[in-house]
Amino acid sequence: YYDFQNSEYTLDGLPYATDPDASLHTIGVSQEAYVPGSDLRLALGYAHSMQHADGNDYDADLDRVSFLASHPVVWKIRATATFAYSHGNYHHDSSRQSGRDDRDDDTATYAIRLDRPVTDWMSAYMGATWIDAESNLGVFDYDRNLYTAGVEFRY
C-alpha cells in the first residue's frame, strides 16, 4: 500500500528548524490470516515512511512493524490486541539540544480494544493503549497511557 499525509500546523512564531510541518510518504505491506477452524484473526505488517520537512528537525526515515490478534470473547464482544514497534532515524542534528547527534527514536505501542455491535450500523468500544517512546533527546522520551471509549457508526 501507499499512503500520503500532509501536516500543516498552526504554530505561528516557531523557529524554522522546529516547525513540524511536513509531508509523509508511506509504503508498506500487510498480511491478514484467519486461523482455520476458529474465529482468530491475525495480521502482520511492515511500513517505511519518508518524512520531508524541508530540511528541518523533522526530516526522517521511519520504519514500523506491527502485529494484531483478534478473537470473539463473549456476548458478541471481540477483543483485539496489537503491538507495534517503530524506529525513527532523523536526518539532521537537533536544534533542541546543543552537542547532540541526530534524533533517534524507538517506540513500542501496546493496545487492547473491546468492540461490541449494537446494531448492524453501530458498535460500542473501549480500549487502552500504552506507549513507551525512547529517544536520545529528552523532550521526545516519554511513557503514555491512553484510555478510550466510544460509539462507532458505519454506513
- SS3 for 91-138 is EEECCCCCCCCEEEEEEEEEEEEEEEECCCCEEEEEEEEEEEEEECCH
- What residues does 7 pair with on adjacent strands? 22
Q: Is 140 helix (H, G, I), strand (E, B) or coil?
A: helix
State the Cα–Cα distance between residues 43 and 84, nearest whole angstrom: 11
Q: How far is CA 148 from the centre of its chain?
A: 15
Please tell me the pTM assigned to this model: 0.83
* Residue pLDDT tens, the chain, 155 long: 999 999 988 777 777 777 788 999 999 999 999 999 999 999 999 999 999 988 788 889 999 999 999 999 999 999 999 999 999 988 877 776 666 567 889 999 999 999 999 999 999 999 999 999 999 888 889 999 999 999 999 99
